[in-house]
Homo-oligomer: A and B are copies of this chain.
Amino acid sequence: MTTPFERIALIGIGLIGSSLARVVRRDGLARSIVAAARSRATLDKVVELGLADTVTDDLAEAVRGADLVVIATPLGAYRAVVQALAPALAPGTIVTDVGSVKACAIADVAPHLPAGVHFVPGHPVAGTEHSGPEAGFDTLFRNRWCILTPEPGTDPAAVERVAALWRAAGSTIEIMDARHHDQILAITSHLPHVIAYTIVGTVTDLEQATQREVIKFAASGFRDFTRIAASDPVMWRDVFLNNREAVLAMLQRFTEDLTQLQRAIRWGDGETLERWFMRTRAVRRGIIDAGQA
């Protein structure tokens, strides 16, 4: 049996990168793993956890001899990362990433890659509210979607090799246009996150005594938002900055709808409220029927 990859270079090794490293190790999907990170503490942790054969903070060194490079840093670091590693990429190398916004990933990565290097943008739709190499686990991607957004003309064999990696991790592959991906994720993921970040922020402004009681009774609804609002701050900063238009468009709709509900509450319009709540209940049934609950 041949090993799918000779050498995988993971650029950034937080929750996603380290979970992928664990999958690659577990299933022997590469002969060797190189992990690159900026901080010495992260690299020490990777060594301690045995997640890579080599660790380095030198990106060019990290990708030398790699046939697969996985960029798993926050989106805001992509441009600098690619400029640092591009000169060391051999023709035929596949570069992929795991970022939550795809049009900007393509804009920041593709123009800087040498000829003959294949770029297959990817987004494993998985995560937890924890960060760092110690937060990863090898079942993170199981039964989750992995969306790939290759530009037209990308080598199908390269796309298939990346797809096979994620399938090995337990994910189902969806191929999609990058801009369409960003629209859909603005609704399913980015809008919910900005809302959750807002409401939890609103609570942190309350006086201390009230805040203690809110935490005490958090299980009555608030708790579900705090999990989302505990997601990685830098990663999410970069998501919002890089999917600005789609997020703002959805926020505009959300605000209009909230104003309508607020008005119904103020004026005691029970009919509007009840009709609204019947409608939203039906969406939940759709999600249960789709096996996504």
Give residues in A with beta carbon < 8 Å to B: 76, 125, 129, 144-145, 147, 183-185, 187-206, 210-211, 213-231, 233-234, 236-238, 240-241, 244, 247-248, 250-251, 253-255, 257-258, 261-262, 265-266, 268, 270, 273-274, 276-287, 290, 292-293
Check A214 against B187 for contact (C-beta < 8 Å): yes
Taking A230-B280, A247-B265, A277-B237 as contacts, is the C-beta distance between A221 and B193 under 8 angstroms?
yes
Which residues on B sit within 8 Å (CB–CB) of A194?
Answer: 258, 261-262, 265
A-B contact pairs, 23 of them (CB 8 A): A125-B217, A145-B217, A147-B217, A185-B217, A188-B221, A188-B222, A190-B221, A196-B221, A198-B261, A201-B280, A204-B279, A216-B292, A224-B228, A226-B280, A229-B280, A230-B284, A231-B281, A233-B278, A237-B270, A241-B265, A251-B258, A255-B255, A255-B262
Main secondary structure of the interface of A (DSSP, over half): helix
Check B221 against A192 for contact (C-beta < 8 Å): yes
Taking A270-B237, A284-B227 as contacts, is the C-beta distance between A215 and B261 under 8 angstroms?
no
Smallest CB separation, A226 vs chain B (Å)? 5
| This chain: copies in complex | 2
In the complex the two chains form, what is the Cα distance from A258 to B250 in whole Å? 13
Check B254 against A218 for contact (C-beta < 8 Å): no
Smallest CB separation, A169 vs chain B (Å)? 15
**In-complex Cβ contact of A257 among B201, B214, B292 (8 A):** B201
Smallest CB separation, A113 vs chain B (Å)? 26
Smallest CB separation, A117 vs chain B (Å)? 29
Check B290 against A215 for contact (C-beta < 8 Å): yes
Which residues on B sit within 8 Å (CB–CB) of A277?
Answer: 197, 229, 231, 233, 236-237
